[in-house]
Amino acid sequence: MHYAPAADRYNNMTYQRCGKSGIQLPAISLGLWHNFGSIDNFENGRSIIRHAFDKGITHFDLANNYGPVPGSAEENFGRILKKDFTGHLRDELIISSKAGYTMWPGPYGDFGSRKYLISSLDQSLQRMQLEYVDIFYSHRPDPNTPIEETMGALHSIVQQGKALYVGLSNYNAGQTKAALAVLQSLGTPCLIHQPKYSMFERWVEGGLLDVLEANGVGCIPFSPLAQGLLTDRYLHGIPAGSRASKPSGFLQENDITPEKVEKVKKLHALAQQRGQSLAQMALAWILKDKRITTVLIGASSVVQLDDNLDTLKNTSFNKEELDTIETILK
C-alpha cells in the first residue's frame, strides 16, 4: 500500500534550534538502536517510522553497528526509505549515522582513525542507499588516535558531500572542548553532541552541558529512560521478555536493585500526580533544560511511540516537583 504522509504532520510537533546552527530538530527524535534489526519484524519497524513522520518526527538516528546483526538497522531503514520516502521527502528528513565502535575485524574496523570513519560512512551510505547523511558522528573518543585525525576525517567527510553536519557522541567535557577547537579551526563547526543522560545518569551536568552552551552546540541525550528502568515496567520486579530479562542486553538484572526500584516507585507516584506516565515525566525532565535540543527515544510499537510523544503536552515543572525529584534521586 502506497504511503502518503499526514498533511498535518508539522502542526503538533515542537521544533527547537540546534545550538547556533540553522537546523531545527523535533523535540523528540527516533533512534533505531533497538527494534529495527534483521532479527526484528520489518513491517513493525516500517509502521513505527511512518507513524513517527506523520507525527512530525523528522530526525532518525542510526549508527553503523545498530541491529542486530550490525548494519541491519541501516539496511532496513534504507529499504523503508526506498519504499515510502521517495522523491522530495528525503529533503524533509534529518538522517544521522555514526562510527566508533567495533564494526568489522582487524585494526581498521573500530575507534577513530581516518581510515575507519571514512570507510564506515561509505558502507553506511551503501546500506541506506543514500548519497549523504545529514549528521555524521564520531561515536566515541579514541584514546590512541590524535584528535586532529579524527576531527580531520569528519571535516573531510563534509567537504566530500557525504555529510552535511558533524557530531560527537560519548565525549566528556574536556574531550569535547578539544574536539570543538579542532573542528572550529578547520571550518566545520560541530552541530550536536549525543551523550547518555537520564535521571539515573547525570555526568553531563558536570561540565559538558556548559561546554556545549558556550560553543553553540546542540545536545541530543540517548537512553533518557535508562534502558526502560524509568518506565512502569519494573515497578513489580523483572517481567518476562523485558530488556533486563535478556542476558545480552545493556540493562542487566543486577542493575535493578531494590534501592532503584524504590526510587522508581516514588518517581512513578509523582508522575501520576502530574497526570503523566513515569516515562513521560522522565523525558520531560530532560527537555526542561534549554541546553537540550531534542531527546532520543526508541520505540517497539506505534502505541509506545504515541505514549512518548504525549510527553510534549506537559514539559514544565514547578520548583516543588523538581525538589521532590532531587530528594528521591539522592
pLDDT digits (tens, 9 = 90+) for 134-150: 999 999 999 999 999 99
In the chain the first and final C-alpha atoms are separated, in Å, by 52
pLDDT of residue 258: 87
In a domain, 3, yes or no: no
| Residue 170 covered by a domain | yes
Q: For residue range 176-213, what is the model confidence (pLDDT) as tens digits?
A: 999 999 999 999 999 999 999 999 999 999 999 999 99
* pLDDT tens figures, 41-66: 999 999 999 999 999 999 999 999 99
The answer on pLDDT for 247 being more than 70 is no
Q: Are 238 and 251 in contact (CB under 8 A)?
A: no
Alpha-carbon gap, residue 45 to 66, rounded angstroms: 13
Sign of CA dihedral 233, 237, 242, 243: positive
- Domain-embedded: residue 206: yes
Is 266 among the domain residues? yes
Residue 105 is part of which domain span? 15-329
| Predicted confidence band of residue 25 (pLDDT cuts 50, 70, 90) | very high
> Which residue is associated with the grid cell 545529514?
134
Model confidence pLDDT, tens digit, residues 208-245: 999 999 999 999 999 999 999 999 988 887 777 777 76
Q: Show Cβ contacts of residue 264 under 8 Å, excluding neighbours closer than 6 positions.
A: 229, 230, 234, 235, 278
Residue 275 has pLDDT above 70, yes or no: yes
- Give pTM, 2 decimals: 0.96
On whether residue 7 sits in a domain, the answer given is no
Which has the higher per-residue pLDDT, 258 or 198? 198
Question: What's the confidence (pLDDT) of residue 239?
Answer: 75
Domains: count for the chain = 1
Answer yes or no: is 221 within a domain: yes
Helices 147-159 and 114-128 cross at an angle (nearest 10°) of: 40
Provide the pLDDT confidence category of residue 302 given band limits of 50, 70 and 90.
Answer: very high
Residue 123 has pLDDT above 80, yes or no: yes
Looking at the domain assignment, is residue 268 inside a domain?
yes
Q: What is the CATH number of the domain that holds 86?
A: 3.20.20.100
Grid coordinates given for 59? 530526525
**60 within a domain of the structure (yes/no):** yes
